[in-house]
């Protein structure tokens, strides 16, 4: 378990006191704070890692949700996989930067370089919003690569957020591996293909939701995500998670339809959120609906705590 147990962490990195200060600052200003986790985790197969197991996730849901939480007045800690999608910037991720720039004409050197606003739709509006969020200090990015980095950073962030009680929300959208190879079972060097076919034996990752809900941030409003490929087992899995971890909400979704359909499941309720064809065409995002559903539920949750 050495590789996966956050309590085995040696050094606490410089970012943690920053998270604490962030939570304190916004909490005492009466602002709610959401920790969003986003992107997949990397699970090394060798100590000197050449190969790793990964989870499919571009980080789209986490990054777009961050924007809607910011629009709703939340401060956001964005715990994301290195190079996964980032709020606002995500809108231009399919564009090659150099295809969107133009050298000012008529000036040999030292000319300006201009953005081709056709190549980056809505860039002026998006840039203004990004700069406003940044200037107000409302978005704190924290990066992970591996599963074990993720686990350590989640624990630290959870403890930082516990200081603001029920004003804290956890929105656990990252695609976290269920399996890992303990350090003591991992080969040091690159696995040689000349040794023949590969057998990999992986252990279960301890579920972090239990200690998060029980110990690290017991007053917080906690949402986990459940992604399945088989729709027939989706709700049962969601209910089982709520029973096991005793948190507030599961957002359940199926791989193929995740951008237009989710079910928000609590112990007593289940609400389907669906985008119509017309909404899809108008580029409405399902995260807008998810976030507005959850911010409302968070308000009710907070009012019950007082």
Among 21, 179, 215, 274, binds a second copy (CB under 8 A): 179
Q: Is 89 in the site for a second copy (CB under 8 A)?
A: yes
Among 79, 123, 142, 263, binds a second copy (CB under 8 A): 123
Closest distance between a second copy and the C-beta of residue 35, in Å? 20
Q: Is 230 in the site for a second copy (CB under 8 A)?
A: yes
Among 13, 185, 215, 256, binds a second copy (CB under 8 A): 256
The helix/strand/coil state of 289 is helix
Q: Is 118 in the site for a second copy (CB under 8 A)?
A: no
The helix/strand/coil state of 39 is coil
What span, in angstroms and rounded, lies between the C-alpha atoms of 151 and 147? 6
Closest distance between a second copy and the C-beta of residue 117, in Å? 7
The tokens describing 8, both together, are 């085995």
Residue 62: enclosing H or E segment and its boundaries? helix 60-71
Q: Which stretch binds a second copy (CB under 8 A): 96-104, 165-173, 268-276, 297-305?
A: 96-104
Q: How far is CA 136 from CA 27, 76, 165, 260, 261, in A?
A: 14, 12, 23, 32, 33
What span, in angstroms and rounded, lies between the C-alpha atoms of 41 and 64? 19
What span, in angstroms and rounded, lies between the C-alpha atoms of 64 and 290? 11
Using CB under 8 A, list all residues that contact a second copy: 42, 45-46, 48-56, 83, 86, 88-89, 92, 96-98, 101, 103, 109, 111-115, 117, 123-124, 126-128, 130-131, 175, 177-179, 188-191, 193, 196-204, 227-230, 255-256
């Amino acid at each position: 378990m050495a590789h996966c147990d956050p309590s085995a962490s040696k050094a606490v990195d410089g970012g943690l006191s920053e998270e604490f200060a962030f939570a304190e600052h916004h909490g005492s200003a009466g602002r709610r704070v959401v920790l969003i986790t986003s992107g997949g985790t990397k699970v090394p197969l060798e100590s000197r890692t050449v190969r790793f197991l990964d989870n499919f996730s571009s980080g789209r849901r986490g990054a777009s949700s961050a924007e809607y939480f910011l629009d709703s007045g939340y401060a956001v800690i964005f715990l994301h996989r290195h190079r996964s999608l980032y709020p606002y910037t995500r809108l231009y991720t399919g564009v090659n930067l150099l295809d969107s720039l133009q050298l000012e004409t008529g000036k040999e050197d030292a000319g300006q370089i201009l953005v081709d606003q056709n190549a980056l739709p809505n860039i002026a509006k998006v840039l203004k919003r990004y700069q406003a969020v940044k200037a107000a200090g409302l978005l704190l990015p924290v990066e992970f690569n591996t599963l074990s980095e993720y686990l350590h950073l989640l624990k630290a962030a959870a403890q930082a957020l516990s200081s603001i009680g029920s004003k804290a929300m956890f929105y656990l959208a990252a695609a976290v591996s269920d399996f890992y190879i303990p350090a003591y079972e991992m080969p040091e060097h690159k696995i040689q293909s000349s040794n023949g076919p590969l057998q990999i034996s992986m252990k279960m990752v301890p579920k972090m939701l239990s200690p998060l809900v029980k110990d690290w941030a017991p007053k917080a409003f906690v949402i986990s995500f459940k992604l399945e490929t088989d729709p027939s087992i989706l709700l049962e899995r969601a209910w089982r998670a709520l029973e096991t971890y005793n948190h507030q909400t599961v957002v359940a979704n199926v791989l193929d339809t995740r951008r237009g359909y989710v079910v928000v499941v609590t112990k007593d309720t289940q609400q389907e959120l669906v985008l119509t064809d017309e909404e899809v065409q108008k580029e409405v995002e399902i995260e807008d609906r998810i976030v507005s559903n959850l911010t409302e539920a968070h308000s009710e949750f907070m009012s019950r705590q007082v």
